[in-house]
Structure 1
Amino acid sequence: MAKRMRIRYLAWCCFRKGSMMKYLNTVVYVLLIVLVNWLFTVVPLVELPGGTMWPPVSLVVGFIFVARDFAQREVGHWVLAAMGVGVVLSYFMASPQVALASASAFLISELLDWAVYTYTKRPLSERIIYSSVLGTPVDSIVFLSMLGYFSIAGAAAMTVSKLLGALIVWWLIRKREATTAAA
């Protein structure tokens, strides 16, 4: 009951007239952090050939890196505070072990992602792909290591699956940039 009330209050705060609607990307970013961490606790790992364990939820994680890029466009460096909010909420929504591993992986990889996105003055599509290519392997290695599931094959599978989400968004934005440039 209390959880439902908190969710309703959050929705009311975000979508009431003249409110935080202008921060939609940031709210989505925070909610994605919490959702993915919760999913890591409820979706079982899949055993790959050779005994490597792979979390299928990692297919969704690539979108978080892109969501962070959009949130940063919206709130600037305050995106780091949004990341902190997402991590704290995850601690209460996911298992403490997953929350700690996620917080550590997010802290390292998202700061790397933030730095790349901030300091490369390239078009949006390029910043998204550069920051994702550098951030996703770090995230995978730290996360799997802290959960005790690290293997080269597992980290590679997790990284590739995360990059799929980033590549989809990169392609869509690249296409939009090309259309805008031609017009």
Structure 2
Amino acid sequence: MTTSNQAGGLPSSEPAQQGKHWVAPVLAMAGIVLLSNILVQYPVGEWLTWGAFSYPVTYFVTDVCNRWAGPGLARRVAWAGFVVGVALSLWMATPQIALASGAAFITSQLLDISVFNQLRRKSWWMAPLFGSAVASVVDTAIFFSIAFHGTDMNWVQLAAGDLGVKLAMALVLLVPFRPVVRWMSGRRAVPGI
């Protein structure tokens, strides 16, 4: 049975959304989280790691899912990324880093989805840009304040560099946003983007 997705205005089939349509976004999210957990071990100067460049793509995946199939799929994809991220963090990092990573990830992803939904009927670029930007600020604040609490590390400098990259990536990822959503929607224009 085909219904209208009220949040996105797209025709959708609820069983289809719960079936095969979530597999590719979940695999993409898991792959990006895995890649980011590996790349975070490699510094770029004194301010960044390579993970700062790959991690913002998680917001892109969530935003594309949100535009394409609504917040339900976006939340399922975010929770899948959370499970993968926490499992990897527990294996690869200290418990404090794992807690920081998990708390920052799921809080910021769910915030991104919420902000996106509130802006989805505005200009096509507003929802992904502002959702990602707000989520990036929250993610950075939560992660760095928990991960480096009680340490001597000057984490504010690292957080500033990390946030700068996330905000720049939010702008850069606007370029592929519309084409990817159109491709996922069967190469037809999607109302509201």
Residue 164 of structure 1 is aligned with which of 164, 168, 176?
168
In 2, are the aligned partners of 1:37 and 1:102 still within 8 Å (CA)?
no
Q: Within 5 Å, which residues of 2 pair with 1:17-166?
A: 20=20, 23-40=23-40, 42-44=41-43, 46-47=45-46, 53-72=47-66, 73-74=68-69, 75-96=73-94, 97-122=96-121, 123-148=123-148, 149=153, 150-151=155-156, 153-166=157-170
Distance 2:22 2:108 in 1: 26
RMSD: 3.0
In 2, are the aligned partners of 1:59 and 1:164 still within 8 Å (CA)?
no
Matching residue's letter, 1:127: A
Distance 2:125 2:21 in 1: 24
After TM superposition, give the deviation of residue 173 of structure 1 in Å.
3.3
TM-score relative to the length of structure 2 = 0.65
TM-score relative to the length of structure 1 = 0.68
After TM superposition, give the deviation of residue 28 of structure 1 in Å.
0.4
After TM superposition, give the deviation of residue 22 of structure 1 in Å.
6.1
Structure 1 alignment gaps of length 5 or more: 1-18, 48-52
Aligned residues: 155
Query: Percentage identity across aligned positions?
Result: 23
User: Deviations 1:130-149 (Å, cap 9, x if unpaired)?
Assistant: 11110111111222222225
More helix by share: 1
Distance 1:36 1:76 in 2: 19
In 2, are the aligned partners of 1:65 and 1:110 still within 8 Å (CA)?
yes
SS at match of 2:55: helix
SS at match of 1:70: helix
Structure 2 alignment gaps of length 5 or more: 1-18, 182-188
Distance 1:88 1:25 in 2: 18
